[in-house]
Amino acid sequence: MRRVVAIALALGTIVWSAAPVGAAGISGRFVDDDTSVHEGAIEAVATAGITVGCNPPTSDRFCPDALVTRGQMAAFMHRGFRDILTQGPATTFVDDDQSVFEADIEWLGATGVTRGCNPPTNNRFCPESVVTRAQMAAFLVRALGLTARGSATFVDDDNSEFEADIERLASAGITLGCNPPANDRFCPTDPVTRGQMASFLARALDLPVLAPRLVLSSGWFCSKDGLRCSGTATSPPGRKVRVAEGWEQALPYESGEEAAFAASNTYFELRVDGAVRATSGPVVSQSSTAATRTWSATITTPSSGTFSIEGRWYWQNTLVRLTRIVVTVG
């Protein structure tokens, strides 16, 4: 029995649109980061599951210019470093009992990455206080175990208690400074924004910076049988856009499904202006409830005009889904 066609990195059933949707901008995972210099890093940390957005339950916004609190920072660090850091003795703070991030804060304390916010007692975490760039440097240096200071220096951190951490972070290439293109300043007392946090984490975890993603598998106007879907979108000129689509197979397999799902004639095909576009993949992954096979490609939009992006899903050489999006550039 055929199972659900789905995008591999956002598992779930397809939501068929009951009515045509208007032209949608190609905005990637979030609708509010298109003009942010951190957009690629934001896409990267979202794909890695480190952030789910800032406006649950919709979670279609990232709020890149919002400031990061220490509680939020603990959550980011927990999701990003959970498989890297080990926990020592349990750590508790007296001021995080009412925080939604209490578990993240106590995990971070047990790893030794945070020591508290009120030395020398350090029995408080100050979860609602904003994180400064210097504090962020200290957190990342401890998490990564960085020791080399190298030759990286900034003109504005000489009086900072975190000077050594700042220079270690710079030597590792995780920070570039705060005043491009000169980048001879770090701005240690400035608060960290969510966009900056995304860039710090993407570099620290060596995550590939990703172009915005156009999702072909849901959200467009489809025929009643769900076979053919269409829509329109807008995009700035010269923008890189990712397409990553494929098959999701619910587990456990029913009779004959495993072989059919893994067969070379079950695949996703991408076309741009009618011509088949080479894709990489499939990338195969599996959880306890589903297996996925994903093919991907990156498209650069032209300088003007319109073009079409078409996705075709084949199950054992039978076309079972086709989505065609006409993109207007401008």
pLDDT band at 151 (very low <50, low <70, confident <90, very high): confident
The pLDDT value recorded for residue 18 is 30
* The dihedral sign for the CA sequence 195, 196, 198, 202: positive
Contact 222, 36 (CB under 8 A): no
54 within domain boundaries: yes
Task: Decide which of 156, 180, 204 is a domain's last residue.
Answer: 204
Both 265 and 306 in one domain: the answer is: yes
Q: 70-81 vs 133-144: helix axis angle to the nearest 10? A: 20
- pLDDT above 70 (res 11): no
- pLDDT above 60 (res 116): yes
Mean pLDDT check: name the lowest of 2-6, 24-28, 108-112, 248-252. Answer: 2-6
The pLDDT value recorded for residue 221 is 78
CA dist 264 and 55 (Å) reads: 40
Which residue range is the domain that position 286 belongs to?
5-26+212-329
Both 188 and 52 in one domain: the answer is: yes
Question: Mean pLDDT throughout 59-70?
Answer: 95
pLDDT band at 168 (very low <50, low <70, confident <90, very high): very high
Both 22 and 74 in one domain: the answer is: no
13 within domain boundaries: yes
Both 135 and 269 in one domain: the answer is: no
Question: Mean pLDDT throughout 52-65?
Answer: 91
Upstream peptide bond of 282 is cis (omega within 30 degrees of 0): yes
Both 271 and 318 in one domain: the answer is: yes
243 within domain boundaries: yes
187 within domain boundaries: yes
Residue 226 belongs to domain with CATH number: 2.60.40
Torsion angles phi and psi, residue 293, rounded to 5: -130, 125
Both 183 and 200 in one domain: the answer is: yes
32 within domain boundaries: no
- pLDDT above 50 (res 225): yes
The pLDDT value recorded for residue 61 is 92
Contact 104, 77 (CB under 8 A): yes
Both 55 and 200 in one domain: the answer is: yes
Task: Decide which of 148, 171, 204 is a domain's last residue.
Answer: 204
* The dihedral sign for the CA sequence 171, 177, 180, 183: negative
Neighbours of 87 (CB within 10 A): 14
Mean pLDDT check: name the lowest of 17-26, 179-188, 201-210, 259-268. Answer: 17-26
Q: What residue has token string 């029913």?
A: 254
The pLDDT value recorded for residue 2 is 42
258 within domain boundaries: yes
The pLDDT value recorded for residue 219 is 59
33 within domain boundaries: no
What is the overall mean pLDDT for the chain?
A: 87
**Side-chain-facing half-sphere of 137: CA atoms under 13 Å:** 29
Q: Please return the burial class of 280, using the count of CB atoms within 10 Å of its CB with bins 0-12, 13-18 and 19+.
A: exposed
In angstroms, how far is CA 297 from the centroid of its own chain?
Answer: 17
pLDDT band at 74 (very low <50, low <70, confident <90, very high): very high
CA dist 90 and 106 (Å) reads: 7
Both 100 and 219 in one domain: the answer is: no
- pLDDT above 90 (res 238): no
Of 44 and 21, the one with more pLDDT: 44
140 within domain boundaries: yes
Both 177 and 225 in one domain: the answer is: no
Task: Decide which of 204, 225, 259 is a domain's last residue.
Answer: 204
- pLDDT above 60 (res 323): yes
Both 314 and 183 in one domain: the answer is: no
The 10s digit of each residue's pLDDT in 12-29 is 223 323 333 334 456 667
Both 166 and 306 in one domain: the answer is: no
Q: Could you give the number of structural domains in the chain?
A: 2
pTM above 0.95, yes or no: no
Both 51 and 137 in one domain: the answer is: yes
In 3D space, the residue among 53, 55, 110, 56 whose CA is nearest the CA of residue 78 turns out to be 110
